[in-house]
Structure 1
Amino acid sequence: MIEFYPVIRSIHILTVILSGSLFALRGAAALFNQNWPYHTGMRWTSWVIDTTLLTAAAMLFSMLPGAMFANGWLTVKLILVVVYVLLGVLAMRRKFSRPTRTVYYVLALCVFGTIVSIARAHHPYGWLLKYLA
Structure 2
Amino acid sequence: MSLIELWPALRHAHMTLAACSGALFATRGAAVLLQRPWPMRRHWRMASYAIDTLLLAAGITLWATLRLNPVHDAWLGTKLLVLVAYILAGSVALKRGKTLTARGAAYGTALALYLFIASVAIAHSPAGVFSSLLAR
SS at 1:124's partner residue?
Answer: coil
1:127 deviates by: 0.4
Amino acid at match of 1:44: M
- Once the two structures are TM-superposed, the CA of residue 67 in structure 1 deviates from its matched residue by 4.8
Q: Which runs of 4+ in 1 moved over 2 A?
A: 66-71
- Distance in 2 (alpha carbons) for counterparts of 1:129 and 1:69: 19
What is the aligned partner in structure 2 of residue 106 from structure 1?
A: 108
Q: Extract unaligned runs of 5+ from structure 2.
A: none
Conserved 8 A contact 2:89-2:109: yes
- Quick one: which of 83, 86, 110 aligns to 2:85? 83
Shift of 1:66: 3.4
**Shift, 1:130, TM fit:** 1.5
How many angstroms does 1:71 deviate by?
A: 3.9
* Conserved 8 A contact 2:75-2:124: yes
Q: Are 1:5 and 2:17 counterparts? A: no
In structure 2, do the counterparts of structure 1 residues 121 and 95 end up closer, same or farther at CA, with 3 Å as the change threshold?
A: closer
| Ranges in structure 1 where 5+ consecutive residues have no aligned partner | none
For residues 64-92 of structure 1, the C-alpha deviation after alignment (integer angstroms, 9 at most, x for no partner) is: 12353444000000000010000000101
Whichever residue aligns with residue 81 of structure 1, its letter is L
Structure 1 residues 79 and 94, CA gap change in structure 2 (3 angstroms): closer
Determine which of 60, 74, 85 is the counterpart of 2:76.
Answer: 74
TM-score by length of 2: 0.94
Aligned positions of 1:1-133 closer than 5 A: 1-93=3-95, 96-133=98-135
Q: How far apart, in 2, do the equivalents of 1:6 and 1:132 lie?
A: 30
Instruction: Tell me the TM-score normalised to structure 1 length.
Output: 0.96
- SS of the aligned residue for 1:68 comes to coil
The range that moved more, 35-44 or 90-99, is 90-99
What is the RMSD computed on CA atoms of the aligned residues? 1.2
After TM superposition, the structure 1 stretch with the greater mean CA deviation from structure 2, 95-104 or 20-29, is 95-104
- Number of aligned residue pairs: give it: 133
Identical-pair percentage: 38
